Amino acid sequence: METTNLSKVRRNKMLNTINEIKKNITDEETLTNLSMIENELTKKKYGLIWEEHEERVDKELETKIPTFEEVKDKEIVSNPEDKFNFLLEGDNLHSLYLLEKTHKGLIDVIYIDPPYNTGNNDFTYGDTVLSKEDEFKHSKWLSFMERRLKIAKNLLSDKGIIFISIDDNEQSELKLLCNDIFGENNFVSTLHWKKKKQPSYLHGQVAGIMEYILIYSKDRIKLDKLSLSAPTDSNTRVDNATNQVAERLIKKGIRVKLDSSISVIKKGIYKNKTMQTEYLNDVFIKNGRTCNDFVAKAKFRDSQERIDLFCAEDVLFITKNYGFRRDKLKIELEKKKAITDLILDWGDNQDSDKELRNIFGDKVFDYPKPTLLIKNIIKSTNYNNAVILDFFAGSGTTAQAVLELNEEDNGNRNFILCTNNENNICEDITYQRIKTVITGKRKDESKYSEGIKANLKYYKCTYIPRINTEDENLHNNLLINIKNLIQLENGIEIDDNKIRVYLDEDELDKFSKNQSDLDVCEKVYISSDILLTSIQESIFKNNNIEVYIIPEYYFEDEIMEVM
């Protein structure tokens, strides 16, 4: 027997009543109000439903058009041949509004750590800090997140993936919201991350040491398995016959990258950023072979060139049995281990606090995420040439993770970070952290590291009135800001030398007749209003100058609204 949907029966009865009432009413305002009631009655009846709220930044979009202004004195260039990374200062809804023009369908990985809405002054909606007593605190948070996640979905590439950190305060609400936005079929997993080394016994019935990371894809069918590199089992195998010999060489189970150009490894403890290795005896190497009597069996069986290749790919190990060992390069490089939904060793809150203290000398930010966590999240996608977005950038952990990961695996990832500048967080913390990681120098000029070669542009969100008058010509005002969008979309520097922008036909004509300018120019971006002559096309072709038409979609809708 088919079940009866009682809610539907009652809803249809109300709709029929409204239709009868409308037959006897001619007042337009009353009819409009009755239609609004009908719309509310016919909305979806399964899933997450909340009281929709509007925030101040929503209202601002009605009268203002966000644009980006470059802060040139904050630009960092340490590798001129590489693309630029971007730090966008401003409300992230406005930054996302602009990113939808430049990066729609182009973002490979999104990681965000939004406010958890704990009621402990961690979430400001509009101009109000929400408390636990606010009866609409969940509705306001969901309204806030929905607008941003809808744009985030549009930004993701077909193989794109989003990771969202959250805790128990909004985890269930967020999952239903993401099911609605990304589609339940595109839910990948919920990771459970151990954020504390030890539980707290000071308050609460249950000591909380876990947080969640929700994962959704743009299209799960096109998404590869999330995995990390894993050593083969043979590298930690115990061989009783040679165990004593191996213990004289190295502590068991420690993986080591070996530079084959060395002739001796001296006894002692060696450290780098991610591991510690202790050699229990001097190890001598000659012509690709160990010379120690007690490790006579530990010989390299390949040419020096092959050994160099193994070393470069980090697949040469020192193991318990027979000292040196290598497995077949192809097997090692292809062997991946799927990540699990329980994360116990990807760093914790204590690690992240130490990282910031090492950079700033003090605790400058509450509850940052550890760099290792974000590095493993990004690494698990196996996208080595990715555009990575974090629009709740906070202290800038995502930027540091991307830069260090590129350094470790020769990746070619780029990041875009968005954050507001409340309490100068963007300038004093996010930007300064990125600057320290790239330059290797802290704010006080003390040495932090050797630095990482990378480039950064700093943009600040500004606004243009959404009007078109003789004094405020909207088209002209927007064209002035197009240069920054071109740089953002392409990760380039428009230096008015190698790369140029022309919005005026006369200016372009002057350029096309100046051979000294043509000799150094490589790319030209021109307004879609400009039509190249056949002579100009020939000049640019003969001088190997690439010509790009500035996309109309940058501000097409805004211009049409006021025409």
The pLDDT assigned to 328 comes to 37
pLDDT along the chain (563 residues), means of 10: 64 86 85 84 70 83 91 96 96 95 97 91 78 84 94 97 96 95 96 84 74 96 85 35 34 42 63 54 58 44 50 45 38 65 92 94 90 96 95 96 94 96 94 97 95 97 85 76 94 95 93 96 92 94 95 78 62
- Quote the strand ranges of 469-539, DSSP E: 499-502, 523-526
The pLDDT assigned to 369 comes to 95
Rounded distance between C-alpha atoms, residue 98 and residue 111, angstroms:
18
Residue 492, judged by CB atoms within 10 A of its CB (0-12, 13-18, 19+), counts as middle
The pLDDT assigned to 503 comes to 87
CA distances (Å), 522 to each of 79, 483, 494, in order? Answer: 19, 16, 11
The pLDDT assigned to 83 comes to 96
Whole-model pTM: value is: 0.76
SS3 label, residue 269: strand
H or E segment to which residue 350 belongs: helix 349-360
Q: Which residues contact 209 (CB under 8 A, 6 or more apart)?
A: 194, 195, 196, 198, 199
Domain 56-194+208-228+338-463 CATH superfamily: Vaccinia Virus protein VP39 (3.40.50.150)
Greatest Cα pair distance, the chain, in angstroms, is 105
| Vertex 413: Cα angle to 158 and 179 (nearest 5) | 35
Is residue 239 left, alpha or beta, with left meaning phi > 0 and alpha meaning psi from -120 to 50? beta
Nearest to 527, CA basis, from 489, 562, 491, 476: 476
The pLDDT assigned to 524 comes to 96
**Residue located via tokens 């500048």:** 421
H or E segment to which residue 505 belongs: helix 505-512
Here the tokens at position 475 are 């088209």
